[in-house]
C-alpha cells in the first residue's frame, strides 16, 4: 500500500499513516485526556472513601480535659486514645492516629484544618498545626468560638 508524506514523497506501508498528521490522534491531547480521566477517578475514590464525623465543642473540650495535664500546662491530643464523635446521630469512636484530621469552623464561618495529633488545649484555647497549601503553621482558636468540629481519617477507611 502506497501513500504520500507531507512533502509529497511516496511512502510504503503503515509509515504513511504516521506521516499524515490527521491520520493519528495528537499524542499530547490523547495523554492529557487520559490524565484528566485518571485524576477524576482518583478524586472520586478519595471523596467517597473518607467518612466525616462531628464533634461538639463541649465534647471536644471534655475529651481534652480527661487527659493528664502536661508540664507545659496544656492538654495534648496525642494522649487521647479514642475520639468520641457522631455520625448521623449515632455515637462512634475513632482510633486516634497521625492521619486523623480535624476541620474546625468558627462562629464567623471561617474553617481551619488541623492535624488532630498536633492539637493542644491551653487556657480554653486550641493550639495546633493548621494544614496549609505549602506548609503548616501554628494557629490558636478559642474553644468558645468553635461552631462545628468535623473529624476524618486522612487515609482510606479500612
Q: DSSP letters along 12-33, please?
A: ETTHHHHHSTTTS--HHHHHHH
Cite the beta strand spans of 5-109 per DSSP E. 10-12, 52-55, 75-76, 82-87, 90-95, 100-106
For residue 50, what pLDDT is reported? Answer: 63
Band of pLDDT at residue 122, cut at 50, 70 and 90: very high
**Which of the two residues, 73 and 145, has the higher pLDDT score?**
145
For residue 27, what pLDDT is reported? Answer: 56
Band of pLDDT at residue 120, cut at 50, 70 and 90: very high
For residue 55, which of 104, 121, 99, 7 has the smallest C-alpha distance?
104
For residue 89, what pLDDT is reported? Answer: 84
At 52-93, the pLDDT tens digits run 899 999 999 999 999 888 888 899 999 999 999 998 889 999
Mean of the per-residue pLDDT values of the chain: 79
> Residues 48, 31: contact at Cβ < 8 Å?
no
**Which of the two residues, 13 and 62, has the higher pLDDT score?**
62
Which cell numbers hold the place of 131? 494544614
Please give the Cα distance from 2 to 27 (Å, whole number).
24
For residue 37, what pLDDT is reported? Answer: 74
**Which of the two residues, 29 and 127, has the higher pLDDT score?**
127
Where do the structural domains in the chain lie, given as residue ranges? Answer: 2-49, 52-153
- pTM of the predicted model, to two decimals? 0.62
For residue 51, what pLDDT is reported? Answer: 79
Q: What is the DSSP letter of 143?
A: G
Least confident of 30-34, 71-75, 113-117: 30-34
pLDDT surpasses 60 at 111: yes
Least confident of 21-25, 58-62, 130-134: 21-25
Amino acid at each position: 500500500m502506497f501513500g504520500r508524506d507531507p512533502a509529497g514523497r511516496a511512502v510504503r506501508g503503515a509509515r504513511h499513516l504516521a506521516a499524515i498528521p490527521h491520520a493519528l490522534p495528537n499524542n499530547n491531547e490523547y495523554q492529557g485526556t487520559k490524565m484528566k480521566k485518571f485524576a477524576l477517578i482518583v478524586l472520586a475514590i478519595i471523596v467517597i472513601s473518607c467518612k466525616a464525623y462531628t464533634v461538639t465543642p463541649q465534647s471536644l473540650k471534655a475529651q481534652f480535659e480527661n487527659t493528664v495535664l502536661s508540664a507545659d500546662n496544656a492538654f495534648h491530643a496525642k494522649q487521647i486514645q479514642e475520639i468520641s464523635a457522631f455520625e448521623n446521630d449515632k455515637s462512634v469512636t475513632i482510633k486516634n492516629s497521625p492521619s486523623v484530621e480535624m476541620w474546625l469552623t468558627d462562629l464567623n464561618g471561617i474553617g481551619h484544618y488541623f492535624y488532630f495529633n498536633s492539637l493542644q488545649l491551653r487556657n480554653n484555647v486550641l493550639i495546633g498545626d493548621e494544614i496549609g497549601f505549602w506548609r503548616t503553621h501554628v494557629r490558636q482558636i478559642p474553644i468558645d468560638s468553635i461552631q462545628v468540629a468535623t473529624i476524618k481519617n486522612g487515609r482510606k477507611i479500612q
